[in-house]
Chains A and B, each alone.
Chain A
Amino acid sequence: MKKITFFLASVAVAFTFSTVAKAEYKFNFVMHSDTNNAFWAAVHKGFKDACAQVDADCQMLTLSGDGDQQEQLQNLESSIAQGVDGIVTTITNPTIFDAAVDEALAAGIPVITANTDDPEGAAGSNRLAYIGQDLEKAGYELASALSKQFPAGDIHVLIGVADMNQSWAYTRANGIARFMDDYKAANTDRNVTYEKIESGMDLSTVGNRVAAYVQTNPNTTAYFDVGFWEAGAAQGIRNLGYAPGQMLLAGFDLVDVVFEEMEKGYVQLTVDQQPYYQGYMAVHQLYLMNKYGLSALDIDTGKAMIGPEDVAQIRSFKGMSVR
């Protein structure tokens, strides 16, 4: 009994020593994914690098389950209770985070969103600024850029909405769909159609679902993914015997598996939202707001279209976990 009590006391003491904060400011990043999602590595790196530069005590709060909004809300509320000096969060649901954001602001804790904003932007949440991609616009422009590679004749597009319940996912999908509506209106002589499916959030699930879909809809011209899981779709259609480029694939974000599929010729286009900025600029803004009372500002971290020709250059930065 004594040994166990001693052990537990030691654990408690270890916690204390490990957490004595000497930093001037404490910032938390409350995000909507688990630690296994490859995309977030660059956001995290930007967040940590900026924290080291301004000597802030920073904590990235991930989820046990990717996209579990209740858990994310709890993390947001815990951050407020911690009395941190600033919070960066993603807003993946139009309503459930509103009260917590207001509570933080009332407690004098500045809140800015990064990566994913309220679908209505500043009208839907009192957060002070948004650092990230304009999700709907990026979806529109991705579809617009890929449409230049559409073959002649009828077009049928499949839009993979990773998770129908995540606002970042359906907002991007809405942008893609809006372009397809415009494209249809501009091409009245051709039969232009599209369909949305819930495609999933891991490579094998997306691969299976897309492969199943194209077997029953062999006329599918292109597949858009709202994440980077078009790489999974590439694997799926390759297994079905599709040649590179036989079906066009496009999605979001720069991760290794997408580059590999681009080099093989299966993925034509991806959008870079420069996630490093989303972690990095958020911390610098919070720091300057606390230190000098500067106000927060929106930053559009980009919608650069990346094709196979850009892969070699981008890969040269890859070992740094920045892109």
Chain B
Amino acid sequence: MRPEISTFIMFIVIMTGFFIANDKFLSARNIRIVMGITPEYIIVAIGIAILMISGEFDLSVGSVFALVPMTMVQLVHQGIPPWFAIALGLSIGIAVGFVNGFITLRFGIPSFIATLGMLYIARSLTTVATGGFPPPFPHSLPNELFVFQFEVFRASLFWMLGVAAIAGIMLHRSNLGNWIYATGGDTGAASSMGIKTNNVKMFCFILCGFLAGFAGMIQTFRIEAPLPSQGYLLELESIAAAVIGGVSLFGGVGTIFGAAIGAILIRFLESGIIMARIDAEWFRAGLGSLIIISVVFNTWVVRRGENMVHKNNAEEDMKDENNTKEKKDEA
């Protein structure tokens, strides 16, 4: 069984459990709340998943998630036209991704370290950009286009689906996707096949920074307030979402669908724990345990699948051997 399918099964089981605990868990109101937030996190998880498939990490996504919208808001307050401010803001996300990639690839240091540094730098820049106090949200920004509420869904869901579709086609149906998998699977082998692995990784870093900033923008547009604390711990949550969805920590393995399901699972877990009225002291313990259980479950399913494949292969090999032997005997 593919890991993202087992995550999906797990998702159904957990949803059922929480629904039994509180039937309002799947009420339109709660779905509306969770689905209002989830697209933002899925977009970040998609960026992280693609980067992880290419064999790298980005710990700065939470900070970029705050820095990009804060920049946009402050630029509008400086009199820059809203759409131009949005473009400039998103280019900050791209720039951070580029710097992450440049430092990691040029100096040959682990992306974990390069982006950990960027986590602090970008968060600090966000606070600097507030100028001491968080600025009010300028209503000249076209936020409705991104977060318009339509029944239980928001427009952000469709933006997320658009991002997922483009990323999915790129990753699973294009040469670039093949290069990303090859680079993450075995960089040396990919290079010797002629893939420019550094370029591939750089592209993934930039994409990740861009998507983190884009998602942060959607969140700011939704709550109509630029908050410097936005996206706190998001980096760990996004990596958790990707891993829960079957993306390998070691590169080369994973899907967009898996990362999306992982992000949805975390958001519904969080909501379910609250809805099940589990005490505050247990909140993080519950979330943490469920993250571990889901990854253990995933790994177990994958190993079992591999064992079955090995067993089948071994049986087939034995059959082949027997057949060959019989043929020899006949001869």
Instruction: List residues of A whose CB falls within 8 A of some B CB.
Output: 1, 4-5, 8-9, 11-13, 15-16, 18-19, 21, 26, 35, 44, 57, 59-62, 64-65, 67-70, 73-75, 77-83, 93, 95-96, 164-165, 170, 198
Contact = CB atoms under 8 A, between A and B. Distances in A.
B229 A82 contact: no
B170 interface: no
Contacts of A165: 130, 133-134, 227-229
Given A70-B227, A96-B224, A198-B127, A64 B20 contact: no
12 contacts: A5-B13, A8-B10, A12-B17, A18-B276, A19-B277, A21-B277, A26-B277, A61-B274, A81-B29, A82-B277, A96-B227, A165-B130
B159 interface: no
Contacts of B230: 68, 70
Interface string B4-30: 000000100110111011101001011
B229 A8 contact: no
Most chain B CB within 10 A, of A70, A74, A83, is at A70
Nearest to A78: B274
A67 B229 contact: yes
Nearest to A76: B33
B151 interface: no
A74 B33 contact: yes
A57 B279 CA distance: 11
Given A35-B281, A64-B233, 13 more contacts: A4-B300, A11-B293, A13-B17, A13-B20, A15-B21, A26-B277, A65-B233, A74-B37, A81-B30, A96-B223, A96-B227, A165-B229, A198-B132
A65 B229 contact: yes
Given A65-B233, A70-B230, A15 B225 contact: no
4 smallest A-B Cβ distances: which pairs? A12-B17, A81-B30, A65-B232, A60-B280
A19 B18 CA distance: 10
B229 A69 contact: yes
B148 interface: no
Nearest to A7: B293
Contacts of B224: 95-96
Interface of B is mostly: helix
B27 A81 contact: yes
Contacts of B33: 74, 77-78, 81
Contacts of B319: none
A91 B55 CA distance: 42
B228 A15 contact: no
Contacts of B37: 74
A80 B33 CA distance: 10
Contacts of B14: 8, 12
A68 B13 contact: no
B219 interface: yes
B281 A81 contact: no
Interface in B238-287: 270-271, 274-281, 283-284
Contacts of A13: 17, 20
B284 A12 contact: no
B225 A81 contact: no
Contacts of B112: none
A164 B131 CA distance: 10
Nearest to B225: A96
B304 A16 contact: no
B271 A78 contact: yes
A67 B233 CA distance: 13
A74 B24 CA distance: 16
Contacts of B153: none
Interface string B211-235: 0000000010001110111101100
B102 interface: no
A78 B273 CA distance: 10
B146 interface: no
Nearest to A166: B229
Most chain B CB within 10 A, of A11, A12, A35, is at A12
Contact of B274 (A21, A57, A82): A82
A68 B20 contact: no
Given A62-B280, A78-B271, A81-B30, A68 B229 contact: yes
Contacts of A11: 17, 293
A8 B13 contact: yes
A59 B225 contact: no
Contacts of B278: 15, 18-19, 59
Contacts of A35: 280-281, 284
Interface in B42-99: none
Interface in B118-163: 127, 130, 132-134, 136-137
A68 B232 contact: yes
Given A16-B21, A35-B281, A79 B274 contact: yes
Contact of A15 (B20, B127, B304): B20
Contacts of A44: 280
Contacts of B10: 8
Contacts of B13: 5, 8-9, 12
A272 to B, nearest CB: 24
A12 B20 contact: yes
A81 B276 CA distance: 12
A62 B280 CA distance: 6
Contacts of B22: 19, 82
A292 B127 CA distance: 47
Nearest to B289: A11
Contacts of B280: 35, 44, 59-62
A44 B281 CA distance: 11
Nearest to A44: B280
